[in-house]
Structure 1
Amino acid sequence: MTVAVKEKVAEYLEMALGKPVDLSPLPDDTALSTLGLDSLLTISVLVTLLEDCGVDLGEHADSLVTPSTLGDLYAVADRFMEDEDSTPSGSDVSREQRSQVDFYQEKLAYEIDSADLQTALDDGQDLVVVDGRSSESYDREHIPGAISIPHRSISQDSLASLSKTPLYVAYCDGIGCNASTKTALKLATSGFRVKELIGGLDWWKRDGHATEGTAAQSEAHDHVDCGCAG
């Protein structure tokens, strides 16, 4: 694979993950999930790459498969990349589209919903769920397996024992509460990879997922699939 293709793929991955990525020592069969890309981020990278290359997604839909390894992503980039010198300069519309793509990529890079979190937990992905509320609220009810780190108590000392390898998912009540945002910001400032759980504990329960604690709910009987996987 050419250096240009690998450098371009690295740019897309850095944009999606929000951090520098060194692909040079990684073999082509490296799973994208080990780099921190879940299924939504992988699709986002693929779509952005194809749009930048001017590819009609409908025209090539039957021949495109969501990449699962670096080699897969290299192959897609190599197939569709053109000489940048031959591409026309972007118009005002293309810049607006680029801005939109950047915005939605950032949302996917920094947020996660309860369905994707449950899937990631079921798959055994390397992540840590962090409850940023008070310890009393945590004891009353929390997401199974979550650790309690009240956002007001976060400091370099309180984080010293935590590994920076996993992805951390911060949450709070989710109803008019920004404790998860404050928790995510403090963790990110300290060098951790973080996503914020959309809707917090409230939406987690509304989606029918179980909780732990003195006021825990078992798996909800009226759980309704949101249909996002369709």
Structure 2
Amino acid sequence: MTTAVNDPVKEKVAAYLETALGKPVDLAPLPDATPLNTLGLDSLLTISVLVTLLEDAGVDLGEHADSLVTPSTLGDLYAIAGRFLGGPEERPAAETAAAEPREQNDQLAYYQAKLAYEIDSADLRDALAAGQDLVVVDGRSSESYAAEHIPGAVSIPHRSISQDSLAGLSRAPLYVTYCDGIGCNASTKTAIKLATAGFRVKELIGGLDWWKRDGHPTEGHAAPEHSHHAGCGC
């Protein structure tokens, strides 16, 4: 007897088998009780298919080790694929419920990390005004810095950063890196190099572009003479 399994699950199983066997596989006429070894899968290939399926599904093998049994038939493989690769409606209710707190924790960790590693222009302005111990770092070229930069920022082009060039910097302050904006990754490269060297770092969201959009002043031979401050309201 063949258990009713939706076509997407069978298609996924067929794809894994075809990859393992290196040839097309037609599962449609085969009953669930069909032994996998009759398809040409030995024990090592079967385990390889199982591990690949679980890794693609993002399954923690250690967490599910006690509940996993190496499949010996197509029906076994369908059941595992339906459990881990199927949509939410195909997963056991207990698994779906258990996944929700993990997803919430992951989401909270993501947002907390954003605040830990990023700063916006309003918060940077307030921190500078309050005299907090921080150093604003312009990671762009020296020419770009000379044209226009955040007042008080130091120029440390990311391409020039080395252990020697950082040797004279204090590790006490928080370093805030920036570049042109969202279309530029110099601030990220600068932050990586500073963090790798052991400095505390945050990245300015939106870079110089959003600093100016929020109405904060700039310096340099291309900087406008007047700027209008308009708080972002956050």
| TM-score tier (shorter) | 0.5 to 0.7
Q: How does 1:36-51 map to 2 (within 5 A)?
A: none
Equivalenced residues, count: 138
Q: How does 1:201-216 map to 2 (within 5 A)?
A: 201-216=208-223
Q: Which amino acid aligns with 1:207?
A: D
**Aligned twin of 2:231:** 225
CA distance in 2, matches of 1:112, 1:219: 24
CA distance in 1, matches of 2:189, 2:165: 15
**Aligned twin of 2:3:** none
Q: How does 1:127-166 map to 2 (within 5 A)?
A: 127-166=134-173
TM, length-normalised to structure 1 = 0.58
Local SS of the residue matching 1:91 = helix
Local SS of the residue matching 1:169 = strand
Moved over 4 A (4+): none
Kept in 1: contact 2:116–2:202 (CA 8 A): yes
Q: Which amino acid aligns with 1:227?
A: G
**Aligned twin of 1:72:** none
Q: In the alignment, is residue 125 of structure 1 matched against residue 132 of structure 2? A: yes
Structure 1: segments with no counterpart, 5+ residues: 1-89
Q: How does 1:1-230 map to 2 (within 5 A)?
A: 91-221=98-228, 223-228=229-234
CA distance in 2, matches of 1:175, 1:112: 14
Post-superposition shift, 1:126? Answer: 0.3
Q: Which amino acid aligns with 1:205?
A: K
**Bigger-Rg structure (1/2):** 2
Q: Which amino acid aligns with 2:194?
A: L
Kept in 1: contact 2:145–2:220 (CA 8 A): yes
TM, length-normalised to structure 2 = 0.57
RMSD over aligned Cα, in angstroms? Answer: 1.2
**Aligned twin of 1:80:** none
Post-superposition shift, 1:132? Answer: 0.3
Post-superposition shift, 1:219? Answer: 4.8
CA distance in 2, matches of 1:224, 1:208: 5
- The sequence identity of aligned pairs, in percent, is 77
